[in-house]
Amino acid sequence: MSEVKVKPLADRVLVQTAPAEEKTAFGIIIPDTAKEKPQRGTVVAVGPGKKDEPLTVKVGDTILYGKYAGTEIAVEGQEYLIMRESDIFAII
């Protein structure tokens, strides 16, 4: 994992999404139009947190988040999501 030049503010987290599933459990190939948006990713950068609330996630954590959570951004040709820590459901 390379160093990212983006530093999130407050309780925001920068997440690299996991790739979408290419095949089903039975080996059926899923076309691009039918692929679901992944809900899993790896934390790449974290903000300092709010004044009285430190962040519980750290760089390198694998997380689960909501289907429509965050905002998609592109940094140096890579696609990322930036979201609030409250949009994260669990650390895996």
**Pure H helices in 1-92:** none
Residue 4: the pLDDT is 80
pLDDT at 1 over 60: no
Q: How far is 50 from 84, CA to CA, in rounded Å? A: 11
The percent of residues above 90 in pLDDT, for the chain, comes to 49
What mean pLDDT value characterizes the chain?
86
The percent of residues above 70 in pLDDT, for the chain, comes to 92
Domains defined along the chain, listed by start: 10-19+35-89 (2.30.33.40)
How many CB atoms lie under 10 A from the CB of residue 80?
Answer: 21
CB 78 within 8 A of CB 17: no
Residues 51-70 have a mean pLDDT of 91
Tell me which of 9 and 32 has the higher pLDDT. 9
At residue 39, the 3 state secondary structure works out as coil
Residue 35: the pLDDT is 67
